[in-house]
Structure 1
Amino acid sequence: MAEVIVLESPAAAGAFVAAHIAAEVRARPEFTLGVATGSTPLPVYEGLRAQAAAGTDFARITAFALDEYVGLPAGHPESYRAVVDREVTVPLGLDPARVNVPDGALDGIETAGDRYEAALAAHGGVDLQLLGIGTTGHIGFNEPGSSFGSLTRVKTLTERTREDNARFFDSIDQVPIHCVTQGLGTILRARHLVLLAFGEGKAEALAAAVEGPVSASMPGSAIQLHPRVTVVVDPAAASRLRFREYYRWAQDNKPEWQGI
């Protein structure tokens, strides 16, 4: 069972996760962080900026992004390369050469997944992977039906996912139909998974991922197969969890020596 931590707000959750990441970086300056995009991880990035301002040096870490849209022009502000640069690379003072994002360019797209897998393998993998969860249950852009053994590849986005992401564009017509995403099998190779979810709109998918059956119909349920998973949520996202009172009890009575 994943460790589920319920905190009072996204800001509190972000500060909590950022403090853990900063402690890991201070202990191992060449830490490897798996970064996610969308609105969910933004409180963590805000917390990491506070940690940097307080003196934590992130300059030697390596980052690997989960996914990228296919076909957006180079420099498009909603490409995930641009988002990661804007939210993570520049504010934290990361070396851009150490920040990796799948290649979504149409030229060579047929090898984009293999190239990203090779880069991950050559580096030695990810220490901590940040994850959000979509209303369809997707993690990364692994939509329902994705194999738990899948590797980085091109996927077709559901209309629901495109509708959810349209808020970042002028219209849904501008949201790409395809993406390059780490597969579920790729994600499960990270040494620690930290899944974040905020708001009532994520409650149903979160409950299915954490407590429901392990099924390709609910890609987020793949986290149940991982030996080290921390789920950090606000009360609204936790509202459909059957065992939320136990999670609170475990959280309040956690041994002092046990980290997240």
Structure 2
Amino acid sequence: MQVIIFDNAQDVAQSAAEWVAELINKKSNPVLGLATGSTPISLYKALVNKHKAGQINFNQTTTFNLDEYLGIDEQNKQSYRHFMNENLFNHVDIDKNKTFLPTCNQGENPRKQGLAYEDKIANAGGIDLQILGIGANGHIGFNEPTSSLASRTRIKTLSQQTLNDNSRLFAADEFQPTLAMTMGIATILDARYVLLMATGKNKAKAVKDMVTGALSAACPASALQMHENAIVLLDKEAASELEDQEYYMWANTQNLKINKEFGLYHNY
């Protein structure tokens, strides 16, 4: 696991944008795994700016989102399809027919929908780079604590902590879904690269458990310890409970030298 610590959240977003941009510019048909939530918004803004500046094009890119609320219409402003359109897709040259979310409409079998989503990812050649955030309870996607580390795309019941954390996004009289479709942990680990962004003091405990804690379903993000190419981008607040920060910073200076000569990726 490569841990990189930045001064602030904006630097985290800019670094993440460089990883995405290099992949898009390096590979002819890149496949991105995307995340929603407050943390990646600044990443998407940076990518839109790069597109407007002529630095990247998305016309050959395929995307798969981590999750979507169960039974929610994509026109609903609370849907993750709406979120992605508003924050990224409407502002770049991506073909929306190549942007996928793990949807499950009213009356559809979520088990069959989960399998169908896995097939779509496989048919696209697998995910090259998966963007992740992390919940305060250590969840990735909507894989809540106790999720199987071998899980695949499926329906999940959201924990009370996740519901509380997300309640700020819903009006007092607005329905807040308690179920969602999400990529499984094994699905996430299949990505060739995983890029996790975490900012803010409220994520510090989860980050510590992920990076240096036990490999455990109690912290689903700890499964990234098993990934060959996991990159963790943190601001100082999110990194505040990590020990050996000097080592992470030293290791990053060494990696920067290698990246400057050979690029961020080693197998594209």
TM bucket (normalised to shorter chain) is: over 0.9
Alignment of 1:151-162 (within 5 A): 151-162=152-163
Deviations 1:157-192 (A, max 9, x none): 001101111111113862211000000010000000
Q: Is the 8 A contact 2:63 2:98 kept in 1?
A: yes
Aligned to 1:184: 185
Q: Is the 8 A contact 2:74 2:80 kept in 1?
A: no
Moved more, 187-196 or 88-97: 88-97
SS at match of 1:239: coil
Moved more, 128-137 or 65-74: 65-74
Offset at residue 93 of structure 1 (A): 2.0
Distance in 2, Cα, partners of 1:80 & 1:5: 28
Aligned to 1:89: 89
Alignment of 1:45-194 (within 5 A): 45-55=44-54, 56-110=56-110, 111-171=112-172, 174-194=175-195
Q: Is the 8 A contact 1:35 1:65 kept in 2?
A: yes
For structure 2, the residue ranges without an aligned partner over 5 or more in a row are none
Distance in 2, Cα, partners of 1:79 & 1:181: 13
Q: Is the 8 A contact 1:29 1:58 kept in 2?
A: no
1:236 and 2:237 correspond:
yes
Distance in 2, Cα, partners of 1:94 & 1:74: 18
Offset at residue 92 of structure 1 (A): 1.9
For structure 1, the residue ranges without an aligned partner over 5 or more in a row are none
Alignment of 1:180-219 (within 5 A): 180-219=181-220
Deviations 1:136-170 (A, max 9, x none): 11000000111111000000000110111111111
SS at match of 2:57: coil
- Give the alignment's TM-score, normalised by structure 1: 0.96
Q: Is the 8 A contact 2:68 2:103 kept in 1?
A: yes
SS at match of 1:195: strand
Distance in 1, Cα, partners of 2:91 & 2:235: 25
Q: Is the 8 A contact 1:19 1:47 kept in 2?
A: no
Q: Number of matched residues? A: 259
Deviations 1:47-91 (A, max 9, x none): 111211221111110000000001223411110111112112111
Distance in 1, Cα, partners of 2:163 & 2:138: 14
Offset at residue 255 of structure 1 (A): 5.1
Deviations 1:99-138 (A, max 9, x none): 0001131221332211111111111110000000001110
Distance in 2, Cα, partners of 1:254 & 1:152: 34
Distance in 2, Cα, partners of 1:255 & 1:74: 41
Distance in 2, Cα, partners of 1:223 & 1:215: 11
Please tell me the residue identity of whatever aligns with 1:145.
T
When residues 7 and 172 of structure 1 are mapped into structure 2, their CA distance, relative to the original with a 3 A threshold, is farther
When residues 74 and 43 of structure 1 are mapped into structure 2, their CA distance, relative to the original with a 3 A threshold, is closer
Distance in 1, Cα, partners of 2:74 & 2:153: 21
Query: How much identity, in percent, do the aligned residues show?
Result: 37
Cα RMSD, aligned residues only: 1.4
- Give the alignment's TM-score, normalised by structure 2: 0.93
Please tell me the residue identity of whatever aligns with 1:204.
K
Distance in 2, Cα, partners of 1:16 & 1:199: 16
Please tell me the residue identity of whatever aligns with 2:12.
A
Q: Is the 8 A contact 2:67 2:142 kept in 1?
A: yes
Distance in 1, Cα, partners of 2:77 & 2:199: 24
Offset at residue 243 of structure 1 (A): 2.0
When residues 253 and 109 of structure 1 are mapped into structure 2, their CA distance, relative to the original with a 3 A threshold, is same
